[in-house]
Amino acid sequence: MVDMAESGCPTCINIPETTGTSEGAVVVEGFGLHSGAAARVVVRRCDGPVRIGTNGLEARIDEFRTVSTDRATTVEANGGALRVATVEHAFAALAGLGIYEGVILVVAGPEMPILDGGASVWCDAIARLAVAPTGPRLRVVREAAIAVGASRYELAPNGGAIDLEVRLELQDVRVDSVARWHGDKDDFRLRIAPARTFATAADVEDLARRGLARHVDPRSVVVLAKDAIHSSGRPFSPDEPARHKLLDLIGDLYLRGGPPLGRIRALRPGHAATAHALQLAVHQGALAPI
């Protein structure tokens, strides 16, 4: 296990062939954003739909359900026996690369590691397996407007292309409020995946009081304070928070087989709101499987 306090970064390393796959596997190691616990994920090729495994159990993505959205997305399957937290960045990488089949992620730890704060390390790991992309499993079939608290989601068919837009309302003139993605895999890797987790100074203080966010590499997080925007490593870009919210949205949509073919405009999206909006959209007939 790599000590991030010493190395200063997460790892993504090839391991020898031990899983019965012809292409081997990739190990991703780091620490959980909220628990601070060490996490190790083996990403390897497999037959059939994408699966997640932990504690000797595994399940297909479509067998999972969202059970918690407290600052991250936690999913479970097998009646709660299989439970993994902070899945949204790994799921976003799978969605962004168009991977719905041929991969299993075997997780050791209570949550996925925070890694680079975005999805770039996940993209690198998945891409090394050279799994052929496939299409989304979901489509927008009719127009709908869904409000969940302060969040609003507008859906519309558009001829069969992915078109996602996120709009923030941070009331901060230093931050651009809009980010969009049209489903291009290279654009996802170059522009969306590198967008780091962000938090306000008040969020950071709250996490510290709760004993959370231990072992976080400062380079993986952007902190929006009143007097300055704090970021280590790569320079901050004004649209980075919006791009990260877009990344989170892509990851949360993946659980249902998305992002769907069609147009979605999300105003003030969040993990809880997106999970509820997805349920409503399916129930109302705005989203349907392909």
The DSSP call for residue 85 is B
Q: Which of 215, 271, 276, 283 is catalytic?
A: 271
Helices (H), the chain: 4-7, 88-96, 120-128, 185-187, 201-209, 240-254, 271-283
User: Could you tell me which of 118, 83, 99 has the C-alpha nearest to residue 247?
Assistant: 118
Query: Does the annotation mark 271 as catalytic?
Result: yes
Place of tokens 């037959």: 47
The DSSP call for residue 260 is P
Distance CA 66, CA 279 (A): 11
Paired tokens of 47: 């037959």
Are the beta carbons of 49 and 57 closer than 8 angstroms?
A: no
User: Could you tell me which of 180, 87, 101 has the C-alpha nearest to residue 136?
Assistant: 101
Q: Which residues are catalytic?
A: 271
